[in-house]
Amino acid sequence: MSEGIAAKPNSKKQQEDKAKINRRMSRIRHKVIVLSGKGGVGKSTVAVNLAVSLAQSGRSVGLLDVDIHGPSIPIMLGLDGVSLSSNGKTFEPISIGNLKAMSIGFLIQNEDEALIWRGPMKMGVIKQLLGDVEWGELDYLIIDNPPGTGDEPLSICQLIENPDGAIIVTTPQRVAAIDVRKALTFCRELKLPILGIVENMSGFSCPKCGEVVEIFPSGGGRKIAVDFNVPFLGSLPIDPAIGIACDAGTPFVQHYEQTETAGKFKDIIAPILALSEREATAGQQTKEGRINENSHTYSQ
């Protein structure tokens, strides 16, 4: 299995595609992949609000939706029906302030259309989304994948060199937790760093009093994090305002910024922001090392 995963481009066209993607991705400082073991856990909701939270912190952010069969990012950002600009060779992502978004949903004319595609066709589209989109200089690219460990997340991991890591979304129930373990194993098979686990729908947040009531048994995400020795990034309750915001195309953390749940999203982005801080620290240490080397040379 590992040999198949690590397979290198074996044709000139594949090598050209890979080189083009590398050029695009080299202008993006950090690439973060959002995964889930199964559907219905709110993965896209988490991805959108994490991306918007990063943009609110002053970072330049890209949000890439590679859920070919169920793209929901355009609706969640209020961009459904928006058309892309293209010069025939490349596409411009849709910009909202310092957030740029790209999804196959922007290319579908009829929202009822079903894309009945096999793996090779999906791989070709993902190559285009990575290599033919004018992302420009970005601090972060958040990549929202479909649930599971199939073609799309595998293609992303094969095509992007050295992604910074994955955030895995689960719900508290055991049936979701079992599939999350498979997602964690997937990451380790591909040597993809795990930034942490988010437990979504962890209790119900009453819209009147704010009290959180546990509907499902909680703690499944934290237990998995302990079992696999990976960070637990936090729990998000079921908040009716999140569903309202998603349907209205108004990102929750932007329009309900003062709520406790929005604050939890901002806590969850801490390890993502830490990527930049570590990069800055490493750069400063390198710079200081060069200064010390030069000083040593001059003293001689």
Q: Which residues are annotated as a binding site?
A: 37-44
**Model pLDDT, residue 205:** 79
Terminal C-alpha separation, the chain: 55
Q: What is the DSSP letter of 186?
A: H
Distances (CA, A) of 258 to 28, 85, 226, 271: 30, 35, 31, 21
> Rounded to an integer, what distance in angstroms lies between the CA atom of residue 55 and that of residue 278?
19
pLDDT of residue 220: 83
Biggest distance spanned by C-alpha atoms of the chain = 74
Cα–Cα dist 198/39, whole Å: 14
pLDDT score at 297: 47
As averages over each run of 10 residues, the pLDDT of the chain (300 residues) reads 48 88 96 93 95 96 93 93 84 94 84 72 91 96 93 93 95 83 94 95 80 77 91 92 94 91 91 81 54 49
- pLDDT reported for residue 274: 92
Q: CATH number for the 2-299 domain, one of 3.40.50.300, 3.90.650.10, 3.40.50.2300, 3.40.50.2000? A: 3.40.50.300
Contact 35, 150 (CB under 8 A): no
The per-residue pLDDT for 277 is 78
Q: What is the DSSP letter of 36?
A: E
Q: Whole-prediction pTM value?
A: 0.86
Q: What is the DSSP string of 213-262?
A: E-SS---HHHHHHHHHT--EEEE--B-HHHHHHHHHT--HHHHSTTSHHH
In the chain, the amino acid numbered 52 is V
* Whole-angstrom distance, CA of residue 1 vs CA of residue 3: 5
pLDDT one-digit tens code per residue, 66-75 = 998 889 999 9
Going by their DSSP bridges, the two strands 99-103 and 61-65 should be labelled as parallel
Interval 51-94: pLDDT, tens: 999 999 999 999 999 998 889 999 999 998 888 888 878 999 99
Extract the annotated binding site for ATP: 37-44
> Per the structure block, which two tokens stand in for 215?
């509907």
Show me where the domains of the chain are located: 2-299
The Cα–Cα gap between 68 and 53 comes to 24
